[in-house]
Amino acid sequence: MADRQVTQQTIHGLLAKLSDPDADLRYMSLNDLYDILTGSQSTFLTHDRATSTKLAEGLLSSLDDQHGDVQNQALKCLGPLAVRLPFESLTPLLEKLATLTASQTIDTSVPNTALRVIVDTLPRPQPGQPASQNAITAYSAVSKILIPRLSGPTPSASRRRGSVVKGMMEKDPSRGFSSDAIDVLIKVVTCFGPLLQESELAALQASVMAIIQNDTAGTVVTKRALTAISALVLHFSDSQLNSFVSTLRDTLSSDISMVQRRHLIAAIGAIARTAPAKFGPHLDTLAPFVFSAVGEYNIEKAD
């Protein structure tokens, strides 16, 4: 008990220094917090919501620090903190970071990076093994907060009727699509894919395909979206994959722009490389559209 009280006092003292005018002191305080969070003396945080919440708030404020080294050290602390947080403290942290990704006043790559750091650190299901209770708890937080924000607009926490929060994958009028948000989605699928519900996979698929089929999506964003859809397909059920292939076929059969057609064919190629065994049986359905697009006339023209 005495050791716990000493650690609590040390943490509170270090948090107080995060607002010091001296950037070096802020950095060193975060470095000391990292040492505590990665040591055995911090295990009590799982059962100390008050202290863990203050820690999360302190790190969130440091993410907006004007000094890059301080920001990076705060990001480094978020991973070990996340595995110490009780569920009741983890979900608000994810919510606040997800909200910051829509900010018009800060560099939104920072909260997106923070989300990836946290998701990557959380307990996850292991191949060939039943998911542990810790992995299920971590997935529950991700499912409750991140997946809805990635798959579309969500009701605002404010009580204004009809108020919604923009989805992380939506196109921003001034910034366009966010490749950072797509990277968060990829991290979620990579870490928790086996636990994702079919409805969640479908919603994430719709968000990713909306980018792939958008004529205004840039090259970098499109490439990340192709990686995302390839990661998602690995976890599709047979019926979901059949439906996805049918939609691809119908879309390619319709009157779409050359850019959309090129992006969809690129998606077929990316998925075929990532999940050949799963996707292979469907290539007979989609191959004619690929061959048609790269037919003899187009090949000669390219030469």
Yes or no: say if 207 and 151 are a contact pair by the CB < 8 Å rule.
yes
- For the record, the structure tokens of 185 come out as 């989605």
Residues 6+ apart with CB under 8 A from 287: none
Task: Return the closest-CA partner of residue 60 out of 35, 22, 30.
Answer: 30
CATH of the domain at 36: 1.25.10
Integer Cα distance of 20 and 235 in angstroms: 47
Q: What is the pLDDT of residues 157-173, one digit of tens each?
A: 655 655 677 889 999 88
Inside any domain, residue 117: no
Inside any domain, residue 25: yes
Three-state DSSP class for 120? helix
Question: Counting Cβ atoms within 10 Å, is residue 142 exposed (0-12), middle (13-18) or buried (19+)?
Answer: buried
Find the distance separating the first CA and the last CA of the chain, reported in whole Å: 76
**Number of domains within the chain:** 1
Integer Cα distance of 130 and 224 in angstroms: 30
Maximum distance among all Cα pairs of the chain, rounded to whole angstroms: 80
Q: What is the DSSP string of 221-264?
A: HHHHHHHHHHHHHTT--HHHHHHHHHHHHHHHHS---HHHHHHH
Integer Cα distance of 76 and 118 in angstroms: 10
Residue-number span of the structural domain to which 21 is assigned = 1-85
Integer Cα distance of 58 and 33 in angstroms: 11
- The model's pTM is 0.90
Residue 156, pLDDT above cutoff 90: no
Integer Cα distance of 188 and 180 in angstroms: 13
Inside any domain, residue 21: yes
Task: Return the minimum-mean-pLDDT range out of 12-16, 67-71, 173-177, 240-244.
Answer: 173-177
Three-state DSSP class for 108? coil
- For the record, the structure tokens of 75 come out as 């990001």
Q: What is the pLDDT of residues 40-97, one digit of tens each?
A: 989 999 989 899 999 999 999 999 899 999 999 999 999 999 999 888 889 999 999 9
The pLDDT of 215-222, averaged and rounded, is 93
**Mean of the per-residue pLDDT values of the chain:** 90
Q: Which residue has the higher pLDDT, 150 or 301?
A: 150
pLDDT bracket for residue 302 (50, 70, 90): very low
The pLDDT of 132-141, averaged and rounded, is 95
Integer Cα distance of 271 and 293 in angstroms: 18
- Percent of the chain exceeding pLDDT 70 equals 93
pLDDT bracket for residue 214 (50, 70, 90): very high
Inside any domain, residue 144: no
DSSP tag of 294: T
Residue 296, pLDDT above cutoff 60: no
Residue 298, pLDDT above cutoff 80: no
Integer Cα distance of 153 and 141 in angstroms: 18
Inside any domain, residue 217: no
Q: How far is CA 64 from CA 13, 14, 19, in A?
A: 20, 17, 11
pLDDT bracket for residue 235 (50, 70, 90): very high
Helix axes 198-212, 238-253, angle to 10 degrees: 20
Place of tokens 């989609």: 286
Yes or no: say if 257 and 214 are a contact pair by the CB < 8 Å rule.
no
Q: What is the pLDDT of residues 89-127, one digit of tens each?
A: 899 999 999 999 988 777 889 999 999 999 999 999 998
Inside any domain, residue 17: yes
Q: Which residue has the higher pLDDT, 150 or 155?
A: 150
pLDDT on residue 299: 40
Dihedral of CA 30/32/38/40: which sign?
Answer: negative
Inside any domain, residue 151: no
Inside any domain, residue 23: yes
